[in-house]
Amino acid sequence: MNPTAPAARLVLENGTEVRGTSFGARTDRFGELVFNTSMTGYQEILSDPSYCRQTIIFTYPHIGNYGVNEEDMESRLLHVTGMVCREVSKTVSNWRATHSLPDFLKKHNIPGIEGVDTRFLTLAIRNEGAMRCLITHDMDTPVAELVQKIKESPDMVGADLASEVTTRESYVYKPDHQLSGYDQNGQPDTRFRVVAIDYGIKQNILRILNQTGCEVTVLPSSASLEEIRSYQPQGVFLSNGPGDPAAVTYTIPVVKELIESGIPVFGICLGHQIAALALGAKTYKLKFGHRGGNHPVKNLKTGAIEITAQNHGFAVDTDSLPSGVELTHLNLNDQTVEGIRHRTLPFFSVQYHPEASPGPHDSHYLFRDFISLMKDRMVPA
């Protein structure tokens, strides 16, 4: 922590105030305060569009020592509203780094605050739930006035954020580099035409789809059924993304028709929640969400325990699953839904991030399962 750096404070909507030191951009931002327990991967986390309108507490005490580089970006822009940590590294020790973390945040106009008790803040969220907050450099305005402004800021419930982070135009994905940590078992012989609906898609999802054998066309979240079908896809991928799935009303009937048409569909994160809604299930907001790289999930088919990377604040209601939908994966921490599949149609989805980035690779097999669904429905040439 730099004693000569300007002061900043973090104010929560329950009236809690903590004071610390500013880094990154000197700007004031409102957001939903959440915590992530990952020890590494801060760049991928900060550039994940699923964190749109959220201020992230990193529970690991020292963040930033390996810097930031262009290759590890999960999206071109940062959609987070702030970063909170115990101590941020101003020096960098990594040959790949092009920026320090503070300079990176400053470049993207994102404020950060360090020198605060992150354990205290994390416990507050765990006990009271995720809440709105403000990072400010105004050290004089009374907390009560700031709390009133925080309560007037947008809430996550009812927020369609997919429309904010989605691509504005369709494009064919062309890989910028290969994933050295991904075992692709050689180049696949067959390439499958896949349409990915972008609700806030991460670059590493696209890379893994490509390396698994998919030619991916990415469409906006507002894509119509006719537009999707015009690409004659052999499979459809429903991506991750931010916000309340129930608010993305325009895509739910589209996904419903896709699943019922019999085309293979694979969804993750927000895509999983949207698909569940399309099938007749319900979603709800979790108290403080799941965000980190070590969440245990049980595969109910194999009995295997998979360690997974997660980032979500909403979940599918187990009791609302219709009879045609089977629960496939279960969170061992709180028994929430982590995966479903249709009993007769070629559809499955998971709540967590099988691509990790950052995180364990226990669930990469799901991409191969998607390929298998498409292979089973191939039309001979």
Burial of 94 from C-beta contacts in 10 A (0-12 / 13-18 / 19+): exposed
Helix 270-278 / helix 252-261 crossing angle, nearest 10 deg: 70
Cα-based distances in Å from 112 to 105, 174, 358:
8, 33, 21
Q: What are phi and psi of 183, to 5 degrees?
A: -85, 105
**Contact between 245 and 277 (Cβ < 8 Å):** yes
| Size of the chain in residues | 381
For 367, half-sphere exposure in the C-beta direction (CA atoms, 13 angstrom radius) is 26
Q: What is the DSSP letter of 374?
A: H
Q: For the sheet containing 347-350, what is the strand order?
A: 171-172, 214-220, 192-198, 235-238, 265-268, 347-350, 337-342, 325-331, 283-299, 305-316
Q: Which residues are catalytic?
A: 269, 353, 355
**Contact between 198 and 166 (Cβ < 8 Å):** yes
**Contact between 63 and 144 (Cβ < 8 Å):** no
Burial of 369 from C-beta contacts in 10 A (0-12 / 13-18 / 19+): middle
Dist. CA 319–CA 335, nearest whole Å: 12
Q: Which two tokens stand for residue 71?
A: 């290759």
Q: What are phi and psi of 50, to 5 degrees?
A: -65, -15
